[in-house]
Structure 1
């Protein structure tokens, strides 16, 4: 009997009385409260931005303008790259043409020097009064051959003065070579 009685009266276990709310109503209530909380936070955020001087429409406009400028610059970059490639090709063509012209000029200069030698030779032949009597060396040329230490030479002997008869005899060429 002691068990049933306590100093305050009956001895009973603690008990909570609740009204039974179905789980789906609790879920709906939590969802509604969450949506309201997110909406309230968003409203606070937008209000804070406006109070700080941030204008969403102006920002959107600036973003659109920056995007348009970026697209324009991208197109311009593509065009500039294409024109740069054209200029590079033109520069290569110009360099090739310059090399060919330089080569042609060099050949023409060599040909001109050869023709000048021939003209001088013909002038010396055509003016017999100025030439000395006997044989003289009109032209002497040494050129390196294809093999090393081999050379070709050309000697042009001219009979000067009055030519009563052609030269008959021997011409001797002595070469002394000093190698460094």
Structure 2
């Protein structure tokens, strides 16, 4: 039995049972609550940052779309300008082509008029030598794929009234693979049966037809040889370059 000491303060003592398991449970719960609160804070912070990043990306995407629309509008405007420029160039080319065509037509008309003047001058004016016989005009024009039309006019001065008789030989000269080559008109035209074309006229005679050039042959010119059937008649040799008139 405890003894009391007189004059001293007495304290009540209480015996508390020792429970180590319960203390451990509370410790674990505290740690768990701390972890949960930390995780929740990190989660909400992450969600906030993610939302912010998404907003930034959304704004950047919208800005990029606006830029794409602007560039598309500029491209369309450039296409319109390019089409307008091409149309203007085409119109200019058509106008230039039309002018060139008119110039060529005028030049052909002038050439024909000059030939007509030369023809009538040759007929009306006396000619010295060759019994008054001369070549009035000669021309070659396109008639198709490697096909050409030739026209030859042989004339006599009007001061002479006798009938001219003789023959003309028509030779096309050129190259094949760099080598010289000659063809008689009869070799290139089905309308001519012999190398010599007969001449018989009083004032003039027209000789015309078509010829077909063989593949690989590059024409360079035409040689014309006119000879009278008389012993002391005309003898004319003339060479022309391969100048093709526009039809």
User: Structure 2 length as normaliser, TM-score?
Assistant: 0.38
Task: Indicate the structure with greater helix content.
Answer: 1
User: Structure 1 length as normaliser, TM-score?
Assistant: 0.49
Task: Indicate the structure with greater strand content.
Answer: 2
